Structure 1
Amino acid sequence: MPLVKLYFTPALLLLVLTCPQVSRSLPVTSRGPLKESCVSYANTLLRNITDTLTQMEEHVFNCLQLNVELNMTTSTPSACAPKESKCSGTVKAEFDQESCVTNIGEDLHHYYEFLSAQTDYSSLVSTVLLRLRELMENCFPWSLQIDVSKGAASRDENSFDRRLRLCKVLRGFQVRCITMNRAIGYMNSGEHTK
């Protein structure tokens, strides 16, 4: 019998390491609907981003008329599309909550890193950072641990270019935050489990 255990353990380990569904590492998330408070945190964050853009319009230039700069390293819009959705031109049969939550967390982390690096404009982005951190801590705590490249503003850019980029990134974050709000509301409703 001990001989069987010796062969069984390495074989099981080999199976685990070679099976792509078992060996990939994903953050631990809740399997059920997100908490109601997550909907509130996400709504508050969206309002704060919109208010910040309005303040920047008054003090810097009209951010709301600029192009957006989105985080293109995630696939949040497609990953979080509801099942039976026809928005992308193809009907999505299933909703993958794990993929949606992972993409949202990666987006939140990306924007948190970028906004944290905006020391020249800390008074403008401080409220957004506070609300973003609240959402991350309470609904996506693992997103604070993601290791991605920093979104720091280049010191080679002049002040005007940094302000322009901040406006474009905030506009992109606003657009992405609308998608996140819809996805969080969808997951909170439990519709994706029906």
Structure 2
Amino acid sequence: MPLIKLYFTPALLLLVLTCPLWQISQSVPLMGMQDSCVLYARTLLQNITDVLNQKTLFSGIDCTKQNMELYKKTSTPSACAPQGSACSEITTSGFDQSSCLKNIREDLRYYDEFLAAQPVGTLLFSLRELMKNCFGIFPASDSTLREAAANIGTSFDQRLHLCKVLKGFQVRAITINRVIAYMTSDEYTK
């Protein structure tokens, strides 16, 4: 009898983990945000950092010493502050998920449009994966990308502007990472 139990338990575990119904139940969003979104957001942040460190793209520009340009038409940091947070000297009474997600979606759309015309293929891909899989945003078609990329300039000023916008996007991506981690955490689901 003990031998049967030893073999039965791993077999049952294997069955549960490979069952199609189990896999479907794992993909159901947790309070509107999937655990896989944490990975998409981390990948996006890593790709932004990688692009900022490209020596060939920013030849003659020290991006670390440049100011950042933030997209100011959203209020993502304040809209996404966790309950009880005292950031920016404003204490939040509650987390407004709807407002937060609306602001993040607008940020992502802005950066998608801006980056569509830039030589940042992997970064744009990871941004679009996050948009599509976690926020239900379907960006412009690839033909639009090709047309925009054909019109890109590579002047010093254009590369400097790209550097500054990417630095702002990096900061915003940190906020997005924190929000997604918070929304998928046990603390948020209580």
2:77, 2:90 → 1: CA distance?
13
User: What is the RMSD of the two structures over their aligned residues, measured on CA atoms?
Assistant: 2.4
Identity %: 56
2:52, 2:114 → 1: CA distance?
16
| TM-score (structure 2 length as normaliser) | 0.73
What residue is the counterpart of 1:15 in the other structure?
A: none
What residue is the counterpart of 2:112 in the other structure?
A: 112
| TM-score (structure 1 length as normaliser) | 0.71
Check whether the contact 2:41–2:130 (CA below 8 A) recurs between aligned residues: yes
Q: Are 2:166 and 1:167 aligned? A: no
Secondary structure of the residue aligned to 2:87 is coil
Deviation digits for residues 136-175 of structure 1 (CA, Å, limit 9, x no counterpart): 1100123648xxxxxx89x8x8811101100000000001
What residue is the counterpart of 2:94 in the other structure?
A: 94
2:117, 2:71 → 1: CA distance?
16
Residues 190 and 76 of structure 1: CA distance in aligned 2, closer, same or farther (over 3 Å):
farther
Runs of at least 5 residues in structure 2 that lack an aligned partner in the other structure: 1-28, 141-147
Deviation digits for residues 88-107 of structure 1 (CA, Å, limit 9, x no counterpart): 21210100001111111110
Structure 1 outlier segments of 4+, above 3 Å: 56-59, 142-145
1:31, 1:71 → 2: CA distance?
29
1:34 partner letter: M
What residue is the counterpart of 1:182 in the other structure?
A: 178
Check whether the contact 1:115–1:129 (CA below 8 A) recurs between aligned residues: yes
Q: Give the C-alpha shift of residue 54 in structure 1.
A: 0.7
Deviation digits for residues 101-133 of structure 1 (CA, Å, limit 9, x no counterpart): 111111011001001022xxx2xx111001001
Choose the corresponding residue for 1:131, options 123, 126, 133. 126
* Paired positions, count: 152
1:116, 1:108 → 2: CA distance?
12
2:102 partner letter: T
Check whether the contact 1:81–1:95 (CA below 8 A) recurs between aligned residues: yes
Q: Are 2:67 and 1:50 aligned? A: no
Residues 143 and 96 of structure 1: CA distance in aligned 2, closer, same or farther (over 3 Å):
farther
1:143, 1:77 → 2: CA distance?
24
2:65, 2:102 → 1: CA distance?
31
Q: Give the C-alpha shift of residue 62 in structure 1.
A: 1.2
Residues 193 and 53 of structure 1: CA distance in aligned 2, closer, same or farther (over 3 Å):
same
Check whether the contact 1:38–1:135 (CA below 8 A) recurs between aligned residues: yes
Check whether the contact 1:46–1:177 (CA below 8 A) recurs between aligned residues: yes
Q: Give the C-alpha shift of residue 52 in structure 1.
A: 0.7
What residue is the counterpart of 1:66 in the other structure?
A: 66
Q: Give the C-alpha shift of residue 192 in structure 1.
A: 3.2
